[in-house]
Chain A
Amino acid sequence: MPRPRVKIPSSAKVGDVIEIKTLISHVMETGQRKTPEGTPIPRKIINTFIAKYAGNEVFRAELLPGISANPYLAFFMKVPGPGEFELTWVEDGGNKTVEKAKLNVT
């Protein structure tokens, strides 16, 4: 899977509620489509997204074929202290992409 894009604030204070925006290129094949010859195209989507901060899970999304291609997800977190985000995208079949982003806590 290609490298995702992650946007977090350049800095934050303890107790701030920050927004985390993520985008990954992925076809999110629904499993409903067929080739011109009529063969069904098997489902291939990112089915799970997990966001951990300083080792704790802060957000998780279970995605279904109703989510658009190149899934965009934005969510919030209250900054507990210094730490690093570990964001994981899991594809059907078990392939994973992990992206890390360190938050500058002032």
Chain B
Amino acid sequence: MRQIGKMLSRRQFSIAAASVVSLPSYALAQDPTQAWKQALKAILGDAKPTEAKLTFDVPVLAENGNTVPFSIQVDSPMTEKDYVKAIHIIATGNPQPGVATFHLTPQSGRAMVYSRMRLAKTQDVIAIAEQSDGKFLMSKRAVKVTVGGCGG
């Protein structure tokens, strides 16, 4: 019993010590759960995205967060006058929410990309398409992650 009591107090001490050490840096850092909102604002500015024409394909359940396949397709004629300039992807629950930005041209022919991303935990993932007319399309998907990526 004395042994357990000793271990507990040692653990409590280390928790207390850790919180003292981590508190000032936490107070200075931005709230990590909100970082994705800034990333989203950096892309959208004040534009109001619509949910039409964008197909964001990502598994509902990802067993391995280290490689989650995704595809993003926009229904666009991809002509000089009307094409998708960029496709952005944001993982709202990752320590660094930005995943990638893809730049397309009218020469792309089809506004579609495939890749694989890391997801640290169960979260919402957002795909945003930026059209040549300055309008934005957006789609949000919830992904359940069994084993998180990002080495966490």
Contacts and interface: CB of A to CB of B under 8 A. Distances in A.
Contacts of B149: 68
A36 to B, nearest CB: 12
Q: How would you classify the secondary structure of chain A's contact residues: helix, strand, loop or mixed?
A: strand
Interface residues of A, number: 30
B151 A59 contact: no
Interface stretch (B4-12, B15-23, B97-105, B134-142): B97-105
B59 interface: no
B61 interface: no
Contacts, number: 102
Contact of B110 (A33, A76, A80): A76
Q: How large is the interface on B (under 10, 10 to 19, 20 to 34, 35 or more residues)?
A: 20 to 34
A62 B88 CA distance: 9
A18 B112 CA distance: 11
Interface of B: 66-68, 78, 89, 91, 94-105, 107-110, 112-119, 149-152
27 contacts: A17-B109, A17-B110, A32-B95, A32-B96, A33-B151, A59-B102, A59-B103, A61-B100, A61-B101, A61-B115, A65-B150, A66-B91, A66-B98, A66-B99, A66-B100, A66-B119, A67-B99, A68-B66, A68-B67, A68-B117, A75-B102, A75-B108, A75-B113, A76-B108, A76-B110, A78-B78, A78-B110
